[in-house]
Amino acid sequence: MSTSIIPQLVKKDFLLMRKVIFISIALSIFSTGVITQLIGEIPDWTLVNIGILFLLAPVFACGFMLMMFTNVHEKEKSTQPFIMSLPVTVREFTFAKLLFNLSVFSTMWVAVSAVALYICFGLGLFPLGTFPFITIVLLGIYAAYTCGLGISLLFQSTGITILAMVIFEVSTSASLWTIAYMKPIANHIYGANPVWNSTAITIVTVQVLIVIFAIVATLFIQNRKRDFI
């Protein structure tokens, strides 16, 4: 007999959310089609702005809906006592939720990022000097999502989760605009080659650390909860 029911919990969440996931994938494919049709029709930087919006909106919407339905609604709709009556601890419950949400979001984020990078650089729309900045943009979105995911699990509250996502989104946008105008980044954006200077590396490192911190802190705090219902 297996001692952990994490795989069953992940499968259950996938079955509950499969329609949302498939619709988001379909929308992402549709968005990719729209963007490829726009290549050459509109200015490149406009294409980047519209492209990022079109490509990432379904992924972000999917990630947000998953965290709301699987984490917040579990408590608000009172299905949590049913799940917690099963042979599972709070730690395993949290791990299963993180595993499911991160797997789905990460898969879609990697796919959409690959498409974005291909459109930007594979089709030669931008010089490779833009690569560090585009990487920072994509990682920033991933970091914001991870922080939101942690909050949704820790508080399991619609109000707090929405507020947190708005704050993370606004601060991500603000920080990305700030980064775009930072000289060590801005000076190389139109360069022929990517420049991974100390500023770019520091920013990426901080983003990766935020992701790791959000996951570890969520597991740590959840594990210390004595009351979980």
Partner 1 sequence: MNIPLAVQCERITKQYRHFQLQDVDLSLEQGTVMGLVGPNGAGKSTILRIIMGLLGPDAGSVKVLGHSMPDHQIAAKRNIGFIAEDMRLYESQTIDFHMGFLKSIFDSWDDEYAATLLRRFDLIREQKVKGLSHGQRVKTTLMLALARRPNLLVFDEPTTGLDPAVRKEVLDEMMNALEEETRSILFSSHNTLDIEQISDYITFIYGGRIIESKNKEDFLDDWRRLRLTNMHSSQLPNLPNIKDAQQSGQLCTVTVYDFDDTIPKEFTNAGLSVDSIERLTLEEIFLSNVNFAKGNMNKDLTL
In the complex, the smallest distance separating the C-beta of residue 228 from partner 1, rounded to whole angstroms, is: 6
**Tokens coding 191:** 């360069």
Three-state secondary structure string covering the chain: CCCCCHHHHHHHHHHHHHHHHHHHHHHHHHHHHHHHHHCCCCCHHHHHHHHHHHHHHHHHHHHHHHHHHHHHHHHHCCCHHHHHCCCCCHHHHHHHHHHHHHHHHHHHHHHHHHHHHHHHHHCCCCCHHHHHHHHHHHHHHHHHHHHHHHHHHHHCCHHHHHHHHHHHHHHHHHHHHHHHCCHHHHCCCCCCCCCCCHHHHHHHHHHHHHHHHHHHHHHHHHHHCCCCC
User: Does 16 contact partner 1 by CB under 8 A?
Assistant: yes
Q: Are 143 and 172 in contact (CB under 8 A)?
A: yes
In the complex, the smallest distance separating the C-beta of residue 45 from partner 1, rounded to whole angstroms, is: 43
Which of 37, 41, 43, 85 lies at the binding interface for partner 1 (CB under 8 A)? Answer: 85
In the complex, the smallest distance separating the C-beta of residue 128 from partner 1, rounded to whole angstroms, is: 47
Which of 88, 139, 153, 200 lies at the binding interface for partner 1 (CB under 8 A)? Answer: 88
Cα 132 from Cα 158, distance rounded (Å): 35
User: Does 50 contact partner 1 by CB under 8 A?
Assistant: no
* Residue nearer to partner 1 on the CB measure, 83 or 111: 83
In the complex, the smallest distance separating the C-beta of residue 106 from partner 1, rounded to whole angstroms, is: 25
* Residue nearer to partner 1 on the CB measure, 106 or 158: 158
In the complex, the smallest distance separating the C-beta of residue 11 from partner 1, rounded to whole angstroms, is: 8
Per-residue binding letters, 190-219, with partner 1 (x by CB under 8 A): ------------------------------
User: Does 223 contact partner 1 by CB under 8 A?
Assistant: no
User: Other CB atoms closer than 10 Å to residue 163's CB: what's the count?
Assistant: 13
User: Does 86 contact partner 1 by CB under 8 A?
Assistant: yes
Which of 12, 61, 117, 215 lies at the binding interface for partner 1 (CB under 8 A)? Answer: 12
**Tokens coding 51:** 């492209």
User: Does 5 contact partner 1 by CB under 8 A?
Assistant: yes
* Residue nearer to partner 1 on the CB measure, 53 or 86: 86
Q: Are 83 and 44 in contact (CB under 8 A)?
A: no
- Residues 55-84 contacting partner 1, CB under 8 A: 77-79, 81-82, 84
For partner 1, how many residues bind (rule: CB under 8 A)?
23
Residues that bind partner 1 (CB under 8 A): 1, 3, 5, 8, 11-12, 15-16, 77-79, 81-82, 84-89, 226-229
